Amino acid sequence: MKKNMRKEFSPSCDRNKQPILEQLSVHFSDRKNVLEVGSGTGQHAVFFAEHLPHLIWNTSDMFDYHSSIQAWMAEATLSNLVSPIEFHFGKNGWPSLDIDSVFTANTTHIMQRNDAQLMMQTIAANLKSGGIFCQYGPMNVNGEYTSEGNREFDQHLKESGCGGIRDVAELVEWAAGMELIEQISMPANNFLLVWKVA
C-alpha cells in the first residue's frame, strides 16, 4: 500500500494555509474533533493538525485522494491526525464520528449546485447543537462577483464541468438550522464563512 502513496502538492493550499489557520485558531479554539470535508492533497490537514494540537483532525474525501492524504500523514507522523474516510455527499452516509466541528476549503465551487445544497443541508442536519462549520472559498455577494478575477474563474469552472461560485445568500437558504455568524474576507477574493448549529 505504502509503495503506491504519492504526495500531491497544491500551490493554492500552500498560499492560503496561514490566513486560514489564523481564523481556525479563533473559531476552533474550544473544539475537540473536526471533520475536514474534501481533504484533497492532505496539505491542509497536516498543517492545521500540527498547529492546532488540541484538535483531533479527521480527514475525508473520495477514495482517489486517499493516497496523497496518507502520504502527507506518513511524513508528518502526527498523533492527532486521523486516516481518511471515503465521504461524498449523496453517496456516503454521515460519518459515525463524534465531531463538534466541520471544515472545508475550496470544495463548494467545485461541487454541482445540487451537491453544494446537499452539503449545507447534511451538515446542518447532522452536526450537533453548538457545532461550528468553517467554509472557505470564493463566494458571490448579493448576486455579484467580488472581483473580475472571480468572474473569470467562475466561467472557467463552469466550462470545466464544475458547479461554479455560489452566492452567500444561496448558502444561507440551504443551511436551515445553521446560523451564519461571521463572513470574513480573506486574501485573493475568498471568504471564510463561520456557521453555528442552533
Torsion of CA 143, 149, 151, 157, to 10 degrees: -120
Q: How confident is the model at residue 28 (pLDDT cuts 50, 70, 90)?
A: very high
The predicted model gives 62-78 an average pLDDT of: 95
Looking at domain 2-197, which CATH architecture does it have? 3-Layer(aba) Sandwich (3.40)
| Cα–Cα distance for residue pair 133/196, rounded to 1 Å | 6
Residue 88's pLDDT is what? Answer: 92
Residue 168's pLDDT is what? Answer: 98
pLDDT for 1 beyond 80 = no
| Strand extents, DSSP E, the chain | 33-37, 56-61, 81-86, 101-105, 132-137, 178-186, 190-197
The predicted model gives 71-84 an average pLDDT of: 96
Closest to 62 in 3D by CA, of 41, 46, 79: 41
- pLDDT digit string, tens, across residues 126-137: 999 999 999 999
Secondary element (H or E) of residue 22: helix 11-27
**Given 3-state DSSP classes, what are the helix, strand and coil percentages for the chain, each rounded to the nearest 5?**
40, 25, 35
146: three-class secondary structure by DSSP: coil
| Cα–Cα distance for residue pair 43/112, rounded to 1 Å | 24
State the average pLDDT for the chain. 96
Residue 100's pLDDT is what? Answer: 98
Residues pairing with 183 in the sheet: 193
Residues pairing with 167 in the sheet: 140
Q: How confident is the model at residue 4 (pLDDT cuts 50, 70, 90)?
A: low
Residue 10's pLDDT is what? Answer: 95
Residue 140's pLDDT is what? Answer: 98
